[in-house]
Chains A and B, each alone.
Chain A
């Protein structure tokens, strides 16, 4: 179910080194943009992985996962304030543990309510919980600070390693370590009796009952633990941004958790990591280039649900049996043939979306439309025609190539099946 170990080592080394690839050694300055993006990735990885403890591993479709992320964040703001005035003499490095316990506390309460049910009724209850908490965050000013949220200063000057966490880079490494601890913890849980019975109740809760397990207790424990990890993510959020508002626990972030986990793939442990990294890249990278980045995320989500319900990691894993038989090379040409129509389709789609969005928003802002490095006159007919032609031409061509790709794929997997019979 999981990739070879070197992938994990490689990912960690990459995450360690990433800030230095963008470090300006002449001025000695870090790239603030890159570091804040990497930090965001770390929290989102925790959020997506903990969400997948529910969706992928236990088959629980939760719509309030950000609640526990958010509460971890709010609580951490108060912890940091208490640490700064001396009433909570704890070093920075262990604060995220308290954030996790805050998430756990709330997920025990709400989990007790929500896990009474499963499937659709469960989803309904969690939606109610999410709305309830969003409202509460706006109503109860003493803890949540209303619309303005609550703020802190993270330089509490108490650290196990003598760090002051004034720089983003130090915070990033704190996030990285906690992301590693959380991911390792969540992976360990998948290898325990509870983790396995969560899979079992997902597949067939009734059978689990007739084996001595109360599916409700399995759901409850899984829910509570997942809330704990989400709380850690929220704590790191509070440390990074030094402000938490109701956005951190509202429905939008819950939906984001779902998107990241699903796009990355819920059937493989590491899938949501891929999703979190990709969505954060789109969020921070593409949002600089285009107003319409959310459209692209949405369309990608729909395309994944329609064509690759196992997500990105599911697509990768599907290649494993073929790679194992040493026949991966036979897919090279079919893949190359997909590239041109695929990019034509994307080019056409992006073109149309950008033209449309320019007509409605961009022009009013007095901007110039620049697409793929060219200044475009959105009033002319030519860019529209080219986009439409690319979209439809690419689409039809891709459909055609996809069919022949499918045939090659089928014949390869058929070979594999006949291969393992004596």
Chain B
């Protein structure tokens, strides 16, 4: 079963074509990493899938249904959630409030202005459990903008998975982290995305080959290889375009 499928997706910014016909199928439950040199269009591709930018042409489907004309909140409600390369949280709200906000829609509260948050025991317990899962209990009531960088990244991941989406997009979740922090973040990602479809942009090759079931290599807006790690690793085209350059 295909969770996310892209068919000949193209994106122009003005006259410049950034994504030049990407066709990609991501199986449900798969851990799929997208790699590629800087400027390859990895983040742009994420922005297209999650609805942040409209596509120029092509088709994107989530669990078989077209999502390429939907606004981001509709795509999210359809079961796709994403994180951002540059940490995107609610800096003035407490850590707990950030997580509770991330839970609200999936718990069916919608735009309710008649239910008092303090009385929603199930919701508050879920937020608290998530807080503990992320190891942020000690920081519960401080504004999230004051967290350390690694803590903010953990919170970002927590907010991304909170709504229970079946497809998770993570954009460079370990960027800027130390080795220990990366190990911790990867363990967290494995744990919280169990049973979900994971699509991830990542620069750290160790992380990629460690985690991915499938790797897709994107170069100048085109897929030059896609397959299991060992196949991608031995692909000549990939070595020429990308991996070789890293080893020099």
Contact = CB atoms under 8 A, between A and B. Distances in A.
Interface stretch (A101-109, A209-217, A284-292): A209-217
B27 to A, nearest CB: 23
Interface residues of A, number: 27
Contacts of A199: 90, 92-93, 97
Interface string A184-213: 000011011111110110111011111111
B42 interface: no
Interface string B74-96: 00110001101000111111000
Contacts of B112: 192-194
A197 B104 contact: yes
Contacts of B105: 211-213
Interface string A322-358: 0000000000000000000000000000000000000
Secondary structure of the B side of the interface?
loop
Contacts of A197: 101, 104, 111
A218 interface: yes
B118 interface: yes
B110 interface: yes
Contacts of A214: 71, 73
A263 interface: no
Contact of B73 (A189, A204, A212): A212
A191 B118 contact: yes
B92 A203 contact: yes
B22 interface: no
Contacts of A195: 113
A221 interface: yes
Contacts, number: 95
Contacts of B116: 188, 191-192
Contacts of B36: none
Contacts of A250: none
A210 B71 contact: no
B65 interface: no
A92 interface: no
Residue in A191, A207, A214, A221 with the greatest tally of chain B CB atoms within 10 Å: A207
B178 interface: no
A127 B241 CA distance: 55
Contact of A211 (B52, B102, B117): B102
Contact of A207 (B71, B77, B114, B159): B159
Contacts of A202: 92
A217 B105 CA distance: 13
Contacts of B162: 211
B97 A194 contact: no
Given A196-B97, A196-B100, A199-B92, 12 more contacts: A192-B115, A192-B117, A194-B111, A196-B101, A196-B104, A197-B111, A203-B90, A208-B101, A209-B71, A211-B73, A211-B104, A218-B111
User: Closest 9 CB pairs between A and B?
Assistant: A212-B105, A194-B113, A203-B90, A193-B109, A209-B72, A212-B76, A193-B112, A207-B88, A214-B73
13 contacts: A192-B113, A193-B104, A194-B113, A196-B93, A196-B101, A199-B90, A203-B91, A209-B72, A211-B73, A211-B159, A212-B76, A212-B104, A217-B111
Interface of A: 188-189, 191-197, 199-200, 202-204, 206-214, 217-218, 221, 225
Interface of B: 50, 52, 71-73, 76-77, 81-82, 84, 88-93, 97, 100-102, 104-106, 109-118, 159, 162-163
